[in-house]
Amino acid sequence: MANLKFLFSFIILFLLISAILGGKQSMADVNVIRVGVVLDLNSTVGEMAESYISMAVSDFYAVNANYQTRLTLFTRDSKDDVVGAACAALDLMKNKKVHAIIGPQRSAQAKFVASLGEKAQVPILSFSATSPFLSPNYSPFFIQTTQDDSGQVKAITSLVQAYGWREVIPIYEDTDYGNGLILHLKDAFQEVDVRFPYRSLIHPSSKDSDILEELKKLKAMQSKIFLMHMTASLGSKLFVLVKNSGMMSEGYAWIITQGLSSLLNPIDSKIMDSMQGVLGIRPYIPISTNVEDFERRLAKNFTSSGKANLFGFRAYDTIWALPMAVEKANINECKLDLAAIGVSEMGQRLLNTIRSTEFKGLSGYFPFEIFNVIGNTERIIGYWNPKKERLSREADDNSTTEIGAYSISKEILKQPIWPGDITNQPKKLRIGVPSFFGFNEFLKVEWHPDQNDKPKISGFSIDLFHAVLDMLPFPLPHEFMPYVNQHRQSAGTYDELLYQIKLKNFDAVVGDTTIVANRSSYVDFTLPYYESGVSMVVSMKDNEKQNMWIFLKPLSWDLWLAIGAVSIFIGLVTWVLEHRVNTKFRGPPDQQIGTIFLFSFATLTSSHREKVVNNWSRFMLIIWAFMVLILTQSYTASLTSMLTVQQLKPEFVDVTVINMNGYFVGYHEDSFVRELLVKQLNINESKLKPYRTPEEYHEALSNGSHNGGVAVIFDEIPYIRLFLSKYGSRYAMVGPIYKTDGFGFAFPLKSPLVSYISRAILNVTQDKDKMTTIMRKYFASQTTCVDGSSAEISSYSPSLGVYSFGGLFIIVGVASVCSLLIYVAKFLHFHWPASNIIPTKGSFWLRLIELVKHFDQKDLYRCPFRRNESKLNPTISSLEGFGASPSIESIDYEEKHSRASSEGADNVAIDENEEIFSSRHGDTSIDVASLL
């Protein structure tokens, strides 16, 4: 037995010696390539990477034993410092004469080392420096063997869109690593109308007191959605301080990027406890046979947790890629003189070979997974596929939906648990609503103790806001918060309510808030959803029936005066046309003046007795009779209406009357109307009385200014219409309208929600059916009142004016003037030559006087005068019939007027068989009365 043991031991020793000698012989046949490794060996990533790199070298050459090259690794500690990393890289180049360097870890270190590698033409490969600034365009000898941070930008943007957040505050470290991602995120967020209201920079060397001061500032801000982008060391410390500051409670939301989320596994329980409810994004690593085998061997050989880690896989794959490239490049061990950081002879060839090397490693190229930190684990709630650019609940998204048509709804994702151990989405929009008693149709706040002491809020403004939210392309969680004090009474005015947005006590205000200029200095309003303006309401009085002068009311004073003036003018023209041919228009001067005025006004009442014989008079009076007929009918209709229909008249319509009479003025309490009355209308503040409800309006106006009430109430038109719908028969809206921009919703300045809400308001208000449904629900009585009666009066003018009959006045005036001018022209034509008997030395005035004398004489050659004189002097007629000779005076008179025998022959109607204007068939002269 002892001999067998001795023999067995001898065989084993022989085989071992042979293997050692054979290994030495084989190592002598391979080409050793020096590669440097720069890591922060005191960090989690550094320790893990060192383990993965060691396993990668072993695994690679175990599979590829026939390779003629072997990597020899020289590891240096960067000591978490940029200068330390540079010194380590310089040492490897000068003293170890390496052909390539793996590392360093951080982007700031990699940027400095990359410049050294470019000068020495030594490729620098980093598996953890993810800054987008480290581009081959700037550092050609720097190779990122991992995806840079810009790759996760779209995934983060889609997540923010899914939950409808419009404002996100980034918290990032003040390094190249932190700044690189934020610049890309800012551009991506702007495309979807998400903004950064504030950016918080934390330097890696910041003290806890400095970080706490910054967190205090963040806690006071309105937005409670935070995006953290920083390394594991700084992020872990920050989350502990965040929890101690009370910012991991209900209402907050935290998102972490892949730089921190990929390292959650090694983090201790205290840090994990401070991250409860956090959402994270990181590349998804599917579980495969190779991954499971790797984890088993990693757990067996090292003290790590044994669970796959992205950075470890990237380091592992980097080591596998490098020896492949070295073998392809056919690099031989050569003497490199880099004492003065010279140029590597093989650097460019190796760089080109590395860039052209492709293989599928453990990490691969997979979707991003979205997880939720719960307890000591991470629960996957969804995925984001970079190829299809959409969210999905499963990693293997085989949906056939077209690219670009994906949904961004949060319903695709599983329900997360938010900070504070709640399922309700944080960052509900805190919407302040006014709580005023009075016009409840717009907004009503009711408190019910049996409903967990939560108010019930309803009204037109609330229903319309909900309709607007339905039009938004994203969800908008919100909570209505009445602006009340501890006694559930209104806590202030509308201006004070809106100012709460600036104080960050509310995120928005929804209600019957009016858009005015001074408010826009601290809030942004949406487009108006309801038109408005300021006007006044006064009492109506009905005392016209008891007015003894009511018969004058149908026509305005200017119309009465115009009728009187035109009547006198018509009488005067008629007198001129009829004076020489009509005995009714002759006589003593006082009688003729009386005839002019009597005839003028008698035609209005059809009571005149004078008959006209001149055709031009008849023409003029026919037109005047037509106008009188229209005036009479209009007057009769208007007076009848006044006497039979109730006539309501505002007590006054002019704003200036208020100050002149010292009236008391009412206004809507807590509204901006008070400021308008004082500053624009200059009404004394001592004359102002505030009211809230329509009932108070009614009582104040009923009492009047002298009985403890008011004479007028100023308010916005929507409230006035509601008031008139209840008491419209006794009051009216009168006077000018002071324009405002209407009712709108208020948000913080520069809020991205304003544009979305405004567009949704347009869609709702332009939907006739939807608006009609909402309006009828709250304003049915108002619609009936406004449609059924004219309660709104801008000016009160019940009397008919001159302008209404201006056309008739013009026609009558033109007809009268034309008739007069034609008559005067004919008169001058026949009688101006007769005035030539005056000596040439006579003046123009003498001739004019002679013409006046002619005008005042009877025209005896007119048939009316001949017939009349025959009746008055029958003897003369008989003598003429028997051939008696006329007297000398008659002969002289006849000769004198022989030239005028045909004057106006067409102006007088003559009947040769019967007496002019009187025959057996009746009087043929025109009777104006019959026309009227």
- Which ranges of 508-588 does DSSP label H, i.e. alpha helix? 557-578
Q: How many CB atoms lie within 10 A of CB 843?
A: 9
Q: Is the dihedral of CA 702, 704, 706, 708 positive or negative?
A: positive
Pick from 549, 721, 571: nearest CA to 642: 549
Predicted local confidence at residue 288, as pLDDT: 73
What is the phi/psi pair of residue 372, to 5°? Answer: -130, 125
Cα 648 to the center of its chain, rounded Å? 41
Cα 467 to the center of its chain, rounded Å? 16
Q: What is the DSSP letter of 478?
A: E
Place of tokens 């806590």: 491
Is there a contact between 833 and 856 (Cβ–Cβ < 8 Å)?
no
Q: How many CA atoms lie within 13 A of 662 on its CB side?
A: 2
- Which run of H or E residues covers position 202? strand 200-202
Pairing of strands 533-541, 712-716: antiparallel
Predicted local confidence at residue 900, as pLDDT: 41
Q: Where are the beta strands (DSSP E) in 40-130?
A: 69-77, 100-102, 124-126
Q: Which amino acid is at 367?
A: P
Pairing of strands 368-374, 279-283: antiparallel
Predicted local confidence at residue 468, as pLDDT: 94
For 760, residues 6+ apart whose C-beta sits below 8 A from its C-beta are 468, 469, 471, 472
Q: How many CA atoms lie within 13 A of 388 on its CB side?
A: 21
Kindly report the CA angle at 864 between 859 and 866, in degrees rounded to 5? 75
Is there a contact between 298 and 304 (Cβ–Cβ < 8 Å)?
yes
Burial 160-174 (b: 16+ CB within 10 A, else e): bbbbbbbbbbbbbbe
CA distance 736 to 683: 16
Torsion (CA) 759, 760, 761, 766 in degrees, nearest 10: 90
Peptide bond preceding 104 in cis form (omega within 30 of 0):
yes
**3-class DSSP state of 369:** strand
Pairing of strands 253-256, 225-229: parallel
Predicted local confidence at residue 270, as pLDDT: 80
Predicted local confidence at residue 404, as pLDDT: 42
Predicted local confidence at residue 483, as pLDDT: 92
Q: Is the dihedral of CA 14, 16, 17, 18 positive or negative?
A: positive
Q: How many CB atoms lie within 10 A of CB 439?
A: 21
Is there a contact between 107 and 149 (Cβ–Cβ < 8 Å)?
no
For residue 110, what are its two tokens?
A: 């990699």
Per-residue model confidence as pLDDT tens digits over 718-748: 999 999 888 877 888 888 889 889 999 999 9
For 51, residues 6+ apart whose C-beta sits below 8 A from its C-beta are 298, 301, 302, 304, 312
CA distance 806 to 418: 79
**3-class DSSP state of 624:** helix
CA distance 363 to 291: 9
Predicted local confidence at residue 478, as pLDDT: 87
Cα 741 to the center of its chain, rounded Å? 11
Predicted local confidence at residue 920, as pLDDT: 34
Beta bridge partners of 369: 282, 383
Q: How many CB atoms lie within 10 A of CB 537?
A: 25
Is there a contact between 501 and 525 (Cβ–Cβ < 8 Å)?
no
Is there a contact between 48 and 302 (Cβ–Cβ < 8 Å)?
no
Kindly report the CA angle at 318 between 312 and 319, in degrees rounded to 5? 95
Residues of the chain below pLDDT 70: 1-29, 264-267, 301-308, 331-345, 358-366, 397-408, 449-453, 542-547, 600, 604-610, 645-648, 781-798, 832-845, 847, 856-857, 859-932
